[in-house]
Structure 1
Amino acid sequence: MSTDLIKIYEKLGSIARDALNYALSIVEPGVPILELCGKIEDRIRQGGAKPAFPANIGINNVAAHYTATVGDSSVIPKGSIVKIDIGAHIDGYIVDTAITVSFNPMYNQLIKAAAKALEAAQLSMKPGVTMSMVGAQIERAIRSFGFKPIENLSGHLIRRYELHAGKSIPNYDNGDRQRILEGEVYAVEPFSTNGAGYVDDSPQVTIYRLMKNPKPKDPHYDVLAYVASEIGPLPFTPRWLVPRFGDAVVSVVDELYNKGYVYGYPVLVEHGKGLVAQVEDTFIITRDGAIPVVNVLSLLK
């Protein structure tokens, strides 16, 4: 990896860490989720990057892919466990990180299990190690706390403008014999739960991604072209389009989703209605091991 690229990742790590730290300072019961998402995303922009995807706020049994909707009136509930998953990019180079905060001390062990699993993953990741070997370490750590890993969520190889670039770091030993290579960048995200250990797609979609380059004959070409030029192939929320197109853009995006012009990420919920914790960092694989870009674990100390 070039010195220039390492400097970009160092800057991204600093921006993402600052945004997570800021999120921890403002999240509390009663805070509107719309306000929370907007402030976190603005913090990333103020740092000199762009959000790589909308801020995800996963409450209790919601594991992933929920961001505030236009006009969202929901708030952080009392006694909840809240996952804050954010991404930042500079020129398509991406850092993906997450932390969980609990407003009920009974859930602290669930967070510790995910954190311990991330630590175990970091220690095991080096060139030549298989995906399943890392997954086995994640699973062992989570089960040592008496919880289950979420088996159908995983970490992922990251490439420029590609959040999910093919290879996956499982949260259990799934038998994947693909190997980690020097110079690769991975987001590793253990999810721990006291539920069934897997998630289901809910009917709700709050995050979208452009499926293909728009053509002038496409419906709502102005919206598609704006997304292509301002956001590109990375995930987006209709919230980001409202300043340009007004609230009516919500129904436009819904139409484009139904017609296959944009992809929609379903909100993911724990099958057994179990609570879910997540701790995530992005790692650069060097000859000697995995270097955390954000160092999210230190935020939990």
Structure 2
Amino acid sequence: MSDDERDEKELDLTSPDVVTKYKSAAEIVNKALQLVISECKPDVKIVDICEKGDSFIREQTGKLYKNVKKKIERGVAFPTCISVNNTVCHFSPLASDETVLEVGDILKIDMACHIDGFIAAVAHTHVLREGPVTGRAADVIAAANTAAEVALRLVKPGKKNQDVTDAIQKVAAAYDCRIVEGVLSHQMKQFVIDANKVVLSVSNPDTRVDDAEFEENEVYAIDIVASTGEGKPKLLDEKQTTIYKRAVDRSYNLKMKASRFIYSEISQNFPIMPFSARALEEKRARLGLVECMNHELLQPYPVLHEKPGDYVAHIKFTVLLMPNGSDRITSHPLQEIQPTKTVDDPEIKAWLALGVKTKKKGGGKKKKGKKGAEGEGEADATNDASTQEQN
């Protein structure tokens, strides 16, 4: 086997080392999410919580692979974001931002970790209140979560990306909610958070992606955002955008000294993964980022909003399409929710009843009666909103 062939093989889930790195990254980001949720309290600044999430990931990944000969890149793969109420995504404020949390806020927490470029991403919705979540807030969380459960069962070899798009929209409608337009679920590869295979959240004439079929040994970040509003978020203030990713295929000779300094710092510290401008010197970054953006050297992750009063929920998980079935490696248990709607649609119930793991072929006896026998135990026990809504 040539070195090139060996390198290509190592990118695949057929390599136990690759699977280990994905799962190690997932363990860290799941713990980071747990930490962030525990820090979300009234009157606490959002930026302080985001920084704690990022710091935890940097600290924990820094403990791994310290004694190997080859340098292993590791750390934050997507900065911690806490988007509140009708804010849809990507709110990760600068150090000077004074925004604090309030009782009753609906928080969308989004973050990712990588080890050697193998990325584990997660997003979770948490309401800052005591007791069960009720009313339309509960509906939208149940819609996003049930859609995620259905997606988990449909993102498997042989299924098409359009199958998932159609299904999650149907789930949202059952809760009188809408899937938010413009959110994409991506295949992920080593050092690539947004590979070519894509699942659209909403099909419309303005947004098209290539038809694709899921294949064994692929990895996906399944990204579901639901809203009680129209599901057509808008950019209200460009100054809120703080997360960027270097466009590796673009080049330009920057004119301003501040721009060259900032772009050099970005290229050195964040060559591939998305980063927060919070990691840069704020005053210089404000000057330098403008020219970088004007010449498309950076890809922005804009902060989008639904209308005031709309409720938005976000669930994201990373799934490995293993030979024995789908392995969801990132998640967090929901609060108790009491939706006003129930899912009675037979097709949605049939999707939720599908197994996540593949039954063993021949040889061994099939075990019946155990919830985990087909592997859906770990997925259903914590996150199946179709069960929780009966509570």
Correspondence 1:239 to 2:278: yes
Correspondence 1:24 to 2:37: yes
Q: Deviation at 1:293?
A: 1.5
Q: Where does residue 115 of structure 1 map in the other structure? A: 145
Correspondence 1:133 to 2:172: no
Correspondence 1:211 to 2:247: yes
Give 3-state SS (helix, strand or coil) of 1:248's partner: helix
Quick one: distance in 1 between partners of 2:251 and 2:235? 31
Alignment equivalent of 1:184, drawn from 211, 218, 225: 218
Quick one: distance in 2 between partners of 1:275 and 1:64? 13
TM-score for both structures, normalised by structure 1 = 0.90
Write the deviation string for residues 127-165 of structure 1: whole angstroms up to 9, x where unpaired.
110011112222222222221111321211112222111
Contact 2:29–2:330 (Cα < 8 Å) also in 1 = yes
Quick one: distance in 2 between partners of 1:216 and 1:155? 30
Give 3-state SS (helix, strand or coil) of 2:302's partner: strand
Quick one: distance in 1 between partners of 2:182 and 2:265? 33
Give 3-state SS (helix, strand or coil) of 1:208's partner: strand
User: Is 130-139 or 290-299 further displaced after alignment?
Assistant: 290-299
Contact 2:32–2:53 (Cα < 8 Å) also in 1 = yes
Give 3-state SS (helix, strand or coil) of 1:197's partner: coil
Quick one: distance in 2 between partners of 1:10 and 1:92? 12
Correspondence 1:279 to 2:306: no
Contact 2:184–2:199 (Cα < 8 Å) also in 1 = yes
Cα 1:133–1:252 change in 2 (3 A) is same
Q: Deviation at 1:213?
A: 7.6
Give 3-state SS (helix, strand or coil) of 1:280's partner: strand
Q: How do residues 45-84 of structure 1 correspond to structure 2 at under 5 angstroms?
A: 45-48=58-61, 49-84=74-109
User: Is 85-94 or 247-256 further displaced after alignment?
Assistant: 247-256
Q: Where does residue 221 of structure 1 map in the other structure? A: 260
Write the deviation string for residues 25-79 of structure 1: whole angstroms up to 9, x where unpaired.
1112211011011001011112114111221111111111221123011111332
TM-score for both structures, normalised by structure 2 = 0.70
User: Is 63-72 or 198-207 further displaced after alignment?
Assistant: 198-207
Write the deviation string for residues 208-252 of structure 1: whole angstroms up to 9, x where unpaired.
22224898954443322221121112211221123xxx6433322
Contact 1:214–1:224 (Cα < 8 Å) also in 2 = no
Q: Deviation at 1:173?
A: 6.2
Letter in 1 for 2:212: Q
Q: Where does residue 199 of structure 2 map in the other structure? A: 169
Give 3-state SS (helix, strand or coil) of 1:6's partner: helix
Give 3-state SS (helix, strand or coil) of 2:280's partner: helix
Write the deviation string for residues 169-193 of structure 1: whole angstroms up to 9, x where unpaired.
2335679642111111111111111
Structure of larger gyration radius: 2
Q: Deviation at 1:83?
A: 0.1
Correspondence 1:152 to 2:182: yes
Contact 1:62–1:267 (Cα < 8 Å) also in 2 = yes
When the two chains are superposed, the root-mean-square deviation of aligned CA atoms in Å is 2.4
Quick one: distance in 2 between partners of 1:36 and 1:74? 11
Q: Where does residue 88 of structure 1 map in the other structure? A: 113
Cα 1:271–1:153 change in 2 (3 A) is farther
Q: Where does residue 295 of structure 1 map in the other structure? A: 331
Percent of residue pairs identical: 26
User: Is 136-145 or 123-132 further displaced after alignment?
Assistant: 136-145
Q: Where does residue 197 of structure 1 map in the other structure? A: 231
Quick one: distance in 1 between partners of 2:249 and 2:179? 37
Letter in 1 for 2:117: G
User: Is 200-209 or 154-163 further displaced after alignment?
Assistant: 200-209
Any gaps of 5 or more consecutive residues in structure 2?
1-12, 62-73, 334-380, 385-391
Quick one: distance in 1 between partners of 2:251 and 2:294? 18
Correspondence 1:37 to 2:73: no
Q: Where does residue 303 of structure 2 map in the other structure? A: 267
Letter in 2 for 1:37: C
Quick one: distance in 1 between partners of 2:100 and 2:383? 23
User: Is 102-111 or 3-12 further displaced after alignment?
Assistant: 102-111
Q: Deviation at 1:122?
A: 0.7
Quick one: distance in 1 between partners of 2:323 and 2:244? 36
Any gaps of 5 or more consecutive residues in structure 1?
none
Q: Where does residue 103 of structure 1 map in the other structure? A: 128
Q: Deviation at 1:124?
A: 1.7
Q: Deviation at 1:167?
A: 1.9
Cα 1:260–1:215 change in 2 (3 A) is closer
Quick one: distance in 1 between partners of 2:173 and 2:41? 29
Quick one: distance in 2 between partners of 1:102 and 1:161? 33
Letter in 2 for 1:114: A
Contact 1:127–1:286 (Cα < 8 Å) also in 2 = no
Relative contact order higher in (CA < 8 Å, ≥ 6 apart): 1
Cα 1:91–1:225 change in 2 (3 A) is farther
Quick one: distance in 2 between partners of 1:186 and 1:64? 19
